[in-house]
Structure 1
Amino acid sequence: MTHRGGWILVALSGFVVVVAGAFGTHGLQGHIAPRLIEAFDTGVRYQAWHTLAAMAVLIWRGQQALKGQRAVLWLWGLGMIAFSGSLYLLALTGAHWLGPITPFGGLLLMAGWLTLAWCGWRQRPTD
């Protein structure tokens, strides 16, 4: 993933966060069960936080490219698709078979955070 491609994907993810958040607030109220709206909102919240975190990693990559930063972005990207995407689909379709995909997405998100910690650990001090 290039820096340009990374920024495009982060921008699109941010766009989806805004659209999904508005849809969850204005389009789903009264149409689906409150517990499904909560699941949808959880997907939006996790996607928003990881979009912001990915922006920070892209800025860091622009200043100092380190081994593993790209892996962080991929893990978070796939994790957002699996975690948030499965929650969006679960809320919209009620397809409970999507349930096992959500924790897998969560594991990808966690793996991204651990990979980020590894990148930080490997970063050489600038002093």
Structure 2
Amino acid sequence: METILMAQVMGALYGLLAVIFGAFGAHALKKKFTPELLRSFETGVKYQMYHSILLIVLSFNLGFGSNLDTYIVYCFVIGILLFSFSIYGLCLTTANGKKLRFLGPVTPLGGLLLVIGWALLLYSFIAPIL
């Protein structure tokens, strides 16, 4: 899939899912989750939405003439998946008493990819003036 189209489709899909998960968390999970689990779940939703919007903005603003632009998009697409969805999995399985511990290390890996995506984006802005 062309990188621009992937950024648009994934940004829209992740945005759609963030709204659905946010509503699900606020209504259906409110009674099942402890306040701490609810805050964690909401963190996943917020980060997912922020980065979904960013993907859509990038798809209309990056030139996609270099590999750097593609790496930026991939960092955000994979970072959202690993970061937010591992938080959802941890919260849901913890609330059901069967915490999937293997998801614990996945969250920081996703966060690292988000950080790398932001760092690459910053580099793409300052590289032409260096």
Question: Does the pair score TM above 0.5?
Answer: yes
Letter in 1 for 2:124: C
Q: Does 1:34 align with 2:35?
A: yes
Give runs of aligned pairs for residues 51-70 of structure 1, distance below 5 A. 51-61=52-62, 64-67=63-66, 68-70=68-70
Name the Cα RMSD after superposition. 1.5
Q: Cα offset for 1:123? A: 4.1
Structure 1: which 5+ runs fail to align? none
Query: What corresponds to 1:106 in structure 2?
Result: 111
The question of whether the paired residues in 1 share the 8 Å contact of 2:89 and 2:100 is answered with no
Query: What corresponds to 1:80 in structure 2?
Result: 80
The question of whether the paired residues in 2 share the 8 Å contact of 1:66 and 1:119 is answered with no
CA distances 1:55-99 after superposition (whole Å, capped 9, x unpaired): 1211112xx334211111100111111110110001111125122
Query: What corresponds to 1:25 in structure 2?
Result: 26
Q: Greater shift after overlay, 52-61 or 35-44?
A: 52-61
Query: What corresponds to 2:89 in structure 1?
Result: 89
Letter in 2 for 1:105: G
Q: Does 1:120 align with 2:128?
A: no
1:109, 1:4 → 2: CA distance? 20
The question of whether the paired residues in 2 share the 8 Å contact of 1:24 and 1:41 is answered with yes
1:9, 1:50 → 2: CA distance? 10
CA distances 1:32-65 after superposition (whole Å, capped 9, x unpaired): 211111110000000111111111211112xx33
Structure 2: which 5+ runs fail to align? none
The share of aligned pairs that are identical, in percent, is 34
SS in 2 for 1:65: coil
- Paired residues, what number? 122
Task: Show structure 1 runs of 4+ deviating over 3 A.
Answer: none
TM-score, normalization by structure 1: 0.88
SS in 2 for 1:28: coil
1:113, 1:50 → 2: CA distance? 10
